């Protein structure tokens, strides 16, 4: 049984996989300076995996702590794929392939493998990322902007006269107080960007792409979007399996 780990900047998604079935799965938040505590609390009771597959965008320190913890508890090595120029029919548009985040690459791999069509893939995490793929598997490129919470944090932390807390009320309504103005403005910015990218793809490809959304804020943002999006919370984990399968 394999343990699949998707480590973001503030949360971890995981699943125990056996014969392409997720036997158990979950998610938890963590602090970078104390990730061992979160690993112990959330993963130590799992059956010892035969392999540990990893996507990590949180940096070398987090990788080192995770590697030490996995070796101590299960005596296993981490396996982490690299972003490549092409894999399984998907072609990377980046000139320097290693500049593309591994989580974005794995999400695209999983989506392309499943749908084999033009795709708009949105991840709503700490950062909001959007990647576009045409019906030939060519990565058209993508965007990265602050996520909803980061937008709110930037205003609250860097504007002296704004003294409100972060909110997560999914609304695009006109606001009549500062708290709502910051909250609704952040959601409007995120939704408007996603809608614009989908509209641009429709005009360029003369067809509507299959739209997929994931990430911690996805279920709040999804109902606000003009086009229907499929919620796929485990794209990166599925991408790990595809990457490993195609590495041998």
Per-residue confidence (pLDDT) for residue 160, from 0 to 100: 63
pLDDT in tens, 18-39: 988 899 999 999 998 889 999 9
pTM of the model as a whole: 0.94
Active site residues: 103
How would you write the pLDDT of the chain (248 residues) with one tens digit per residue?
A: 999 999 998 899 999 999 888 999 999 999 988 899 999 999 999 999 999 999 999 999 999 999 999 999 999 999 999 999 999 999 999 999 999 999 999 999 999 999 999 999 999 999 999 999 999 999 999 999 999 999 998 888 877 667 666 778 899 999 999 889 999 999 999 999 999 999 999 999 999 999 999 999 999 999 999 999 999 999 999 999 999 999 86
> What strands lie across the sheet with 11-18, from one edge to the other?
21-29, 11-18, 2-7, 51-56, 78-79
Per-residue confidence (pLDDT) for residue 139, from 0 to 100: 98
Domains in the chain, CATH or no CATH each: 2-79 (3.30.420.40), 97-245 (3.30.420.40)
Per-residue confidence (pLDDT) for residue 248, from 0 to 100: 63
């Amino acid at each position: 049984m394999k343990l699949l780990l998707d480590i973001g900047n503030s949360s971890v998604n995981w699943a125990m996989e056996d014969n392409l079935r997720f036997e158990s799965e979950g998610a938890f938040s963590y602090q970078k300076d104390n990730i061992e505590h979160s690993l112990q609390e959330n993963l130590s009771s799992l059956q010892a995996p035969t392999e540990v597959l990893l996507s990590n965008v949180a940096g070398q320190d987090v990788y080192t702590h995770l590697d030490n913890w996995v070796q101590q508890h299960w005596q296993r090595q981490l396996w982490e794929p690299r972003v490549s120029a092409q894999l399984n029919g998907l072609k990377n548009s980046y000139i320097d392939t290693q500049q593309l985040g591994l989580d974005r690459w794995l999400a695209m791999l999983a989506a392309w493998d499943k749908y084999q069509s033009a795709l708009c893939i949105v991840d709503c995490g700490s950062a909001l990322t959007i990647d576009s793929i045409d019906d030939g598997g060519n990565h058209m490129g993508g965007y990265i902007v602050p996520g909803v919470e980061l937008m709110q944090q930037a205003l609250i932390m860097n504007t002296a006269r704004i003294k409100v807390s972060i909110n997560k009320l999914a609304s695009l309504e006109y606001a009549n107080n500062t708290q709502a103005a910051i909250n609704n403005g952040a959601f409007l910015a995120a939704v408007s960007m996603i809608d614009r990218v989908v509209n641009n793809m429709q005009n360029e490809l003369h067809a509507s792409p299959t739209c997929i959304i994931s990430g911690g804020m996805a279920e709040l943002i999804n109902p606000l979007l003009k086009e229907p999006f499929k919620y796929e919370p485990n794209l990166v984990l599925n991408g790990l399996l595809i990457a490993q399968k195609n590495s041998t």
